[in-house]
Structure 1
Amino acid sequence: MAMPEENSLSLGTVLVTGGSGGLASQILQLFSQRGCEHLHSIDLRQPLRHLEGVTYHIGDLTNSDAIRRIFQDVKPDVVIHAASPKFDAPNHILYKVNVEGTKTLIQIAKESGTRFFVYTSSASVVTDGTADLKNADETFPVIVGDKQPEFYVNTKALAELYVLTQNYRAKDGHQHFLTCAIRPSGIFGVGDLVLLPGMLNVYFRGQTKVQIGNNRNLFDFTENTNVAHAHYLAAVALARFQNDTPGDDARVDGEAFFITNGEPRYFWDFTRLVWGLAGDTTRPDQVWVITRPWALLLAGLLEWVFWAFGLGEPSLTRTKVRLSCMTRYFCIDKAKKRLGYKPLVGLEEGLKKAVEDCVRRRNLEQGTATADMNDVKQKRQ
């Protein structure tokens, strides 16, 4: 399907939730670059860097009164719902924000006259944590409840299902409310606070000579500019088709879309590329390979010990073992055809910039911590 020029359609006022986070900041920046003049962000905290042209609002998605006041003031035409706690947040927080918060946001968006709603979901909503996913597409069922081992993913899946059921085309005098979901896999990039920092922590601890599994499992990763691009294309597509009802093979509203770089890599090849860009010189003959069963046993033991002594989460968990040994890559043909999606930033190009950014931020944080410690010592003297 041929796509018109991206900037040919005005989106009106756009509001992004979680706008102080890494991905949402990329979304705001990309929307701004493409001519969106009325951009707003909602987050619990102010961003580290304010983007020019963006109005920032402090608000808690679980506080319906506060969110309603912001929506009454902003009156967004488009909502990009990218806010979420980190995957390791307490379960009650994950459910309250991801599930209840999304339901509240949908209700308030409808009340305020929002027309288009794009939800940031996760490619993990179709995985049960054990079965390999090879070129998985949107026909794969969403897994929730007892069959979904990760509570974070369960809340993202429940929220996605709810968002898509709220898709509504105008009739009987009621305004349309069109929704869709974007499912990125393994997000990394400049501003990344999760994926690359976790991998680089292993490098900085000097643990790059250990590998879990045989490295025969392909895995999909996605640079965050590409994820932001997909959100933009989704919003444009919803707006373009608001007065038309395309056939099932072209429909965007009420649909979910996998988004990746389209460059699946063997998991440990990707990880060692990250480490190499940070300066690692480990040779293949220096690597000690631990089989998956032994790694799961060790991770389970560590989790029990850390739990028993109140030590938090160990560096090796059963979830990390499963992820590092799973085959998990996705088909993005649907996004290419219906959204006109194609990656803007290649995997290695994006990694070079992202690793550099991650190391720079780490050095700044360490410098601040060292300065703080020196200040404390001076005051003691």
Structure 2
Amino acid sequence: MDMCPVGGCDRREPRRLCAVTGGRGFMASHLVTALLGSGDWCVRITDLGPQAALSPAESDGLLGAALRDGRAAYFSVDVCELAQLTKALEGVDTVFHTAAADHTNNNFQLHYKVNVEGTRNVIEACNTCKVKTLIYTSSSGVVFDGVHGLFGVDESTPYPDKFPDAYTETKAEAEKMVIKSNGRNELLTCCIRPGSIFGPGDTIVPILVSYGGMMIIVGDGKNCDDFVYVENVAHGHVCAEKTLSTIDGAKRSGGKAYFITNMEPVNMWDFVYMILEELGYKSRFRLRIPSYFLKPITYLVDWSYHNIFSHYGMRQPGMLTSASIKYATLNRTFNCNNAAQQLGYKPIVSLKEGVKMTTDFYRRLRA
């Protein structure tokens, strides 16, 4: 039985063929590993680079072996180019659409082009290629307005009228399109809304280390967040696909969005301290900065970007923007009961285990 065409799988194996857009990204690379590790899939990895550009560890590991024996194949694809997408999705059963613009670059035109127009292209290519299932990587931020905190909210929470940044605004727009496309041309869709993702390859630990382990607390330090280990996010995508593959699951979960977290909401700054402690910065100095002190600075940074630097193609700083301060000072926790009950989702790595695995990874890099 051969279900995977040449260029995506070993023809001797009865595996199904899927594609992961933005497949060399942080979360997506973990998703690719999970899909290959399950033994159920052959994977087409699509991304912007001309080549996959594996790290030595990847080359010697599962991904490298899969690319060599045909269980995986790399396609250089820009989601903004419909023809490239359509060619890459020929014969594909399921698409995991993770490709998105860099969330730290608050450029609305860029985010709209990649997140909205790119997702529209993915949906059209899925329809043309008769793809059965589309799992979209959304964001928990699609219900966050940057003004009001969120505490234990579920999927009934509406989209806000205004968003704190271009990334979440365009991710919400793309999510709406994916939801509306469910059932059209026999395509089944589902959206995954991860909490704050961390894990090997993230940006959280490098940023903390860049400050020499000094803990800088913004605001009163009492706000909570819902962090999620990257392998749990990948697992949530797999759970969604498995659910849509059954008749009852497709009826129940098709065209829906689900929050995915570690189901361990925690004080944001306690989590930061947990990481620093694991990295050996236990006794380092803590600096607390009131948010009202930073607001005039963030307004100046925002104004300078929109009125000066953006015209020269320069990036907006990731820190000291009004949006980043809002994320750092407000509660953001989510109820995952629907994902647990309807998708069968349960975290496979605890928060404590995830922190240890992440810090061990960065310790090995430093060594």
TM-score normalized by structure 1? Answer: 0.81
Q: Does 1:82 align with 2:98?
A: yes
Query: Counterpart of 2:280?
Result: 279
Q: Does 1:55 align with 2:68?
A: no
Query: Counterpart of 1:370?
Result: none
For residues 157 and 129 of structure 1, what CA distance do their matches in structure 2 show? 14
For residues 117 and 239 of structure 2, what CA distance do their matches in structure 1 show? 27
For residues 84 and 38 of structure 2, what CA distance do their matches in structure 1 show? 30
For residue 187 of structure 1, the aligned residue among 182, 186, 197 is 197
For residue 168 of structure 2, the aligned residue among 142, 148, 153 is 153
Query: Counterpart of 2:187?
Result: 177
Query: Of the two, which has the highest radius of gyration?
Result: 1
For residues 250 and 354 of structure 2, what CA distance do their matches in structure 1 show? 37
For residues 241 and 296 of structure 2, what CA distance do their matches in structure 1 show? 45
Q: Does 1:25 align with 2:34?
A: no
For residues 275 and 154 of structure 1, what CA distance do their matches in structure 2 show? 32
Cα deviation, residue 324, structure 1: 1.3
For residues 240 and 204 of structure 2, what CA distance do their matches in structure 1 show? 24
- The one-letter code sitting in structure 2 at the alignment partner of 1:61 is V
- The one-letter code sitting in structure 2 at the alignment partner of 1:165 is K
Query: Counterpart of 1:331?
Result: 335
Cα gap change, 1:237 to 1:47, in 2 (>3 Å): farther
Give yes or no for contact 2:134–2:187 (8 Å, CA) kept in 1.
Answer: yes
For residue 138 of structure 2, the aligned residue among 105, 110, 121 is 121
Q: Does 1:168 align with 2:187?
A: no
- The one-letter code sitting in structure 1 at the alignment partner of 2:197 is I
- The one-letter code sitting in structure 2 at the alignment partner of 1:116 is T
Query: Percent identity among equivalent residues?
Result: 32
Give yes or no for contact 2:208–2:214 (8 Å, CA) kept in 1.
Answer: no
Q: Deviations over 1:35-87 (max 9, x none)?
A: 22421111112242351232111111111112222223xx1110000111211
Query: Counterpart of 2:209?
Result: 200
Cα deviation, residue 112, structure 1: 0.5
Which region of structure 1 is more displaced relative to structure 2, 289-298 or 253-262? 289-298
- The one-letter code sitting in structure 2 at the alignment partner of 1:156 is K
For residues 219 and 151 of structure 2, what CA distance do their matches in structure 1 show? 18
Query: Counterpart of 2:269?
Result: 268
Cα deviation, residue 21, structure 1: 1.1
Query: What is the alpha-carbon root mean square deviation over aligned residues?
Result: 2.3
Q: Does 1:290 align with 2:289?
A: yes
Query: Counterpart of 2:119?
Result: 102
The aligned runs of 1:229-244 (5 Å cut-off) are 229-241=235-247
For residues 136 and 317 of structure 1, what CA distance do their matches in structure 2 show? 25
Cα gap change, 1:280 to 1:308, in 2 (>3 Å): farther
Query: Counterpart of 1:217?
Result: 223
Give yes or no for contact 1:143–1:157 (8 Å, CA) kept in 2.
Answer: no
For residues 97 and 76 of structure 2, what CA distance do their matches in structure 1 show? 15
For residues 352 and 336 of structure 1, what CA distance do their matches in structure 2 show? 25
Query: Counterpart of 2:3?
Result: none
Cα deviation, residue 304, structure 1: 5.2
Cα deviation, residue 94, structure 1: 1.3
Give yes or no for contact 2:104–2:318 (8 Å, CA) kept in 1.
Answer: no
For residue 233 of structure 2, the aligned residue among 217, 223, 227 is 227
Cα deviation, residue 355, structure 1: 2.3
For residues 295 and 305 of structure 2, what CA distance do their matches in structure 1 show? 15
Residue segments in structure 1 that go unaligned for 5+ positions in a row:
1-9, 170-174, 365-381
Cα deviation, residue 182, structure 1: 0.2
Q: Secondary structure at the match of 1:164?
A: helix
Q: Secondary structure at the match of 1:61?
A: coil
Cα deviation, residue 11, structure 1: 7.5
TM-score normalized by structure 2? Answer: 0.84
For residues 134 and 349 of structure 2, what CA distance do their matches in structure 1 show? 25
For residues 305 and 207 of structure 1, what CA distance do their matches in structure 2 show? 28
Give yes or no for contact 1:21–1:47 (8 Å, CA) kept in 2.
Answer: no
Q: Secondary structure at the match of 2:45?
A: strand
For residues 305 and 63 of structure 1, what CA distance do their matches in structure 2 show? 32
State the number of aligned residues.
334
Cα gap change, 1:298 to 1:177, in 2 (>3 Å): same
Give yes or no for contact 1:11–1:239 (8 Å, CA) kept in 2.
Answer: no
For residues 183 and 230 of structure 2, what CA distance do their matches in structure 1 show? 29
Give yes or no for contact 1:134–1:327 (8 Å, CA) kept in 2.
Answer: yes
